Amino acid sequence: MSQPKELASYLEGKWVNGKGREVALVNPSTEETLATSKTDGLDFKGALAYAREGGAALRAMSFAARGELVRAMSKAIHGARDELIGLAVQNGGSTRSDAKFDIDGAWGTLAAYGDIGAELGDRTFLLDGDATQLGRSARLFGQHVYVPREGVAVHINAFNFPAWGLGEKAAVAILAGMPIVAKPATSTALVTHRIVELIANAGILPAGVLSLVCGSSGDMLDHVTGQDVVAFTGSSTTGALLRRGEGVVANSVRMNVEADSLNAAVLGPDVAEGSDVLNLFLADVVRDMTQKTGQKCTAIRRVYVPRDKAEMVLEHLRERLSGVRVGNPSLEDVTMGPLSTAQQLKDVRAGIGKLEANAKVVFGSATEVSPLLGAGEPGKGFFLSPVLLFNDSPASGDVAHLHEVFGPVATVMSYDGSAKSAAALVRAGHGGLVSSVYSDDKEFLKAFVLGIAPFHGRVTIGSSKIAAQAVPPGLVLPGLIHGGPGRAGGGEELGGKRGLAFYMQRVALQGDRALLEGICGK
Ligand code: NAP
């Protein structure tokens, strides 16, 4: 076995190692230690100050020039795609297909923001709407503009998307004109570390624009200022803790939180057995339960079906799930890898136990995986089979509406076939990233979609005419917003140009129209 690599952080333009407690990054299929990280003693205050200096070079550039930087980052990732997939299989327990989902999402999102940069052209800041006449004379006008903030964007990411998490946040911040300090989750940081190494080695970005913390971020958030922003993705518990951080509160630091979500899939009462719409619904549920071993913030956790179709749906789901091959994802015929960490496996098993308070397991087991393909030593690895539960008479206070089990687990629940009942159950999740509905019934869809819209960042509608080209609900697109109210963290990312606003200050300018036009570059 080779010596584990010590993962350095990239701060103040240098690769640096900390001292103190070592954290191990393991292969979740074999539990072999792949790398270690230490960050005690690193100067996070100095690192933030250095990064802020890097912002000046970005702000002097046009959107088109910043877009070129973002595009070059995309190319650097794309160029190392196979190497990065290999790292994700080892360190994330991802199948090749899961790894592609993350890595292609990273370079794809960066490329999409490169295009937005080209579209915004030679401006360095943005106008927000048209100028407004403020008085009776045609001289006095107001104009809103967005200018880049002069701080640093601290990006803290979850373990499940080490490539996309970096790429989707970096693309928007750098295009808006802000430098970033990225902090991936420690357990799966190998992929992020390699991406930052590739970008740094290629000399793509001006000094200070990209920094990386591999390991704990220590006291970093105590040193954020009013021009900085924090974008966090992870559990709602950590999100709530960071919001209360001293530096964040004292300096009114702008913060975006992307957290848990009990995403729902709802089958409409009109959907018949054998239809394309039923097939789409079943494919989405099974994909979301198994892709990335269910460790996707957008994965379907709650499945609602009209009561008279419940047995039929359970039968189909059981049949499809029995085709899932769990094991070491370095083997080609494995379709679902292990959970990413020992803690994840423990939490998911405990979560299934909680769900059983109101639902019964109808497929899989919280404790056994059989057969298990290509695992290392017996008893090693964080494997679990997909687990499906069923509840014929759900109530809004049931565990499935309150607790996110972040693994290959979903609960099917019956409803009476009315849009009102379905919406009431979905709303019981207290705010989500995305929910999907499958139907061709216009009246049902209108009542249901508008009934759940205030509780979501995105709603996808699967119907006959688009069944063959539908984009899965779990796929976050750069052009549409990602985020959601309540439990989902109350945040919003991406959405094309909309995403830039988080990294920019909107300011209202008022005065003589001709002078305003001079400032705004008209
Ligand atoms: P987590 O335990 O909350 O950790 C998230 C990130 O926060 C990690 O980088 C972690 O670093 C860091 N962190 C933890 N405590 C911190 C502190 N005191 N100060 C600064 N940083 C701190 O979440 P996770 O287990 O990685 O991810 C799973 C959760 O993320 C799930 O609940 C999932 O729903 C959610 N998620 C949401 C989205 C979304 O877009 N809404 C996307 C993906 C995942 P360390 O690893 O070093 O502890």
- Architecture of the domain made up of 263-477: 3-Layer(aba) Sandwich (3.40)
Contact 157, 57 (CB under 8 A): no
Any residues with CB less than 8 A from the CB of 136 and at least 6 apart, and which? none
8 Å CB contact between 28 and 61: no
Cα 122 to averaged position of ligand 1 atoms, centre (Å): 37
Tokens in use for 228?
A: 């900085």
Residues 73-92 have a mean pLDDT of 97
pLDDT of residue 379: 83
Q: Which of 26, 39, 233, 402 to mutate to test the pocket of ligand 1 (most atoms within 8 A of CB)?
A: 233
Ligand 1: distance of its center to the CA of 410 in Å? 21
Find the 300 Cα to ligand 1 centroid distance in Å: 19
Distances (CA, A) of 209 to 19, 94, 148, 232, 451: 25, 30, 14, 18, 43
Distance 186 CA to ligand 1 centre (A): 10
Q: What is the pLDDT of residue 374?
A: 78
Which residue, 324, 317, 290, 344, is CA-closest to 94? 290
Q: Which CATH class is domain 5-259+491-520?
A: alpha beta
- Give residue ranges with CB within 6 A of ligand 1: 156-161, 183-187, 216-217, 233-235, 238, 241-242, 258-260, 297, 404, 406, 433, 488-489
Number of the ligand 1 atom closest to the C-alpha atom of 158: 26
Q: Which atom of ligand 1 is nearest to the CA of 489?
A: 41
Both tokens of 265, joined, read 């899939």
Looking at residue 522, its pLDDT comes to 53
Q: What mean pLDDT, rounded, does the chain reach?
A: 95
Cross-strand pairs, 204: none
Give the pLDDT confidence score for residue 66 in this predicted structure.
98
**How far apart, in whole angstroms, are the C-alpha atoms of residue 260 and residue 262?**
7
pLDDT band at 4 (very low <50, low <70, confident <90, very high): confident
Give the pLDDT confidence of 266-315 residue by residue, as tens digits: 999 999 999 999 999 999 999 999 999 999 999 999 999 999 999 999 99
Q: In the structure, what pLDDT confidence band is assigned to residue 20 with cuts at 50, 70 and 90? A: confident
What is the C-alpha to C-alpha distance for residues 144 and 68, in angstroms, rounded to an integer? 27
Q: Which amino acid, one-letter code, is at 415?
A: Y
C-alpha 214/C-alpha 181 separation (Å) is 11
CA gap 346, 339 in Å, rounded: 10
Number of the ligand 1 atom closest to the C-alpha atom of 189: 46
Q: Rounded mean pLDDT of 30-42? A: 94
Residues 333-356: pLDDT tens digits?
999 999 999 999 999 999 999 999
**Which residue CA neighbors atom 10 of ligand 1 most closely?**
185
177 pLDDT above the threshold of 70: yes
- If you measure from the C-alpha of residue 184 to the centroid of ligand 1, how many angstroms do you get, rounded to a whole number? 9
Q: pTM, whole model, 2 decimals?
A: 0.95
- The domains of the chain are located at 5-259+491-520, 263-477
Grouping H, G, I as helix, E, B as strand and the rest as coil, residue 125 is coil
Which pLDDT belongs to residue 270? Answer: 98
b/e string for 412-447 if b means 16 or more Cβ within 10 A?
Answer: bbbbebebebbbebbbbbbbbbbbbbbbbeeebbeb
Question: Would you state the pLDDT for residue 521?
Answer: 86
65 within 8 A of 217, measured Cβ to Cβ: no
Look-up: residue for tokens 């200070």? 208
Residues involved in catalysis: 258, 297
DSSP class per residue in 322-370: TT--BB-TTSTT--B---SSHHHHHHHHHHHHHHTTT-EEEE--SS--S
CA of 488 to the centre of ligand 1 (A): 13
Q: Is the pLDDT of residue 10 over 60?
A: yes
Cα-based angle 32, 33, 35 (whole degrees, multiple of 5):
145
The pLDDT value recorded for residue 370 is: 74
Q: What is the mean pLDDT of residues 93-101?
A: 95
Please tell me the residue having the least CA distance from ligand 1 atom 13: 238
Quickly count: other Cβ atoms within 10 Å of residue 30's Cβ.
20
- Smallest CA separation from ligand 1 atom 28, residue: 234
Residue 2 has pLDDT above 70, yes or no: no
The ligand 1 atom nearest the CA atom of 493: 40
Residue 250, pLDDT > 90, answer: yes
What percent of the chain is modeled with pLDDT above 70? 99
Residue pLDDT, tens place only, 374-420: 776 778 999 999 999 999 999 999 999 999 999 999 999 999 999 99
Going by pLDDT thresholds of 50, 70 and 90, the confidence category of residue 373 is confident
Residue 206, preceding bond cis, omega within 30 degrees? no
Average pLDDT over residues 310-330: 96
Nearest CA to ligand 1 atom 14: 238
For a pocket test of ligand 1, which of 224, 238, 248 has the largest count of ligand atoms closer than 8 A to its C-beta? 238
- The structure tokens listed for 174 are 């750098």
How far does the centroid of ligand 1 lie from the alpha carbon of residue 166, in Å? 13
* pLDDT given for residue 372 in this prediction: 78
Whether residue 1 is predicted with pLDDT greater than 60 in this model: the reply is: no
Percent of the chain exceeding pLDDT 90 equals 94
Question: Which atom of ligand 1 is found nearest the CA of 161?
Answer: 43
Is residue 3 over pLDDT 80? no
- Residue 371 pLDDT: 72
Task: Return the DSSP state at 9.
Answer: E
Atom of ligand 1 nearest to the CA of 406: 31
Rounded to whole angstroms, what are the CA distances from 329 to 88, 339, 380? 10, 11, 14
